[in-house]
Amino acid sequence: MMRIFTTLAALTAASLSAAPAFAASGPFFSLGNTDFIVLLGFLLFIGVLFYFKVPAMLGGMLDKRADGIKSELDEARALREEAQTVLASYERKQQEVKEQAARIVEHAKSEAENAAELAKDDLKKSIARRLAAAEDQIVSAQAAAVKEVRDQAIVVAIGAARDVVAKQMTAASANKLIDAGIAEVDAKLH
């Protein structure tokens, strides 16, 4: 506000001491001198401005505008600080999420390796069980084959023995065998 007054005073002093005003013909302080009339109009205009308190209103408006700009700057500064805080929080959370994801991936790899090891062990055990079962089946099949061959050999031997005995046996020797069998059974039963 004080600056405005000093500026106006400097303008007034400059207009009074202007060189063209002295170049006009006749006395300066007469209504016939246009420079004097312009000076009076200017001073009257300045007086009206001061009467209606225009400089105070302009100063108040400028102060109000300055306060508004200052409050907007303060608000912008607060918003910037809040944004920086949010950004820092976001970056911290992002880092935590990255670390957690890395831990999850590492844990998943470890679990996958453990599962693979367990699967290998289970597969080895399953293969061993199947090999043992196959060996048991082979042994059983061998035993069955040997038994079948023996049974067949016995059948063939009995058939051959029957044929040989039938050819060599007479009625008298058959009666002797029957009597001996009866005697043997009688001895074992009593």
Instruction: List the chain pLDDT tens, one digit each, 190 residues.
Output: 555 556 655 556 555 555 454 445 667 878 788 888 999 999 999 999 889 998 889 899 999 999 999 999 999 999 999 999 999 999 999 999 999 999 999 999 999 999 999 999 999 999 999 999 999 999 998 988 888 888 888 888 888 877 777 777 777 777 887 888 888 887 887 7
Which ranges in the chain belong to alpha helices (H)?
2-16, 19-23, 34-51, 54-168, 171-189
Q: Give Cα separations from 37 to 27, 44, 63, 190 (angstroms).
A: 12, 10, 35, 179
Amino acid at 179: D
Tell me the backbone φ, ψ of residue 17, rounded to 5 degrees: -100, 20
pTM of the model as a whole: 0.38
Amino acid at 147: K
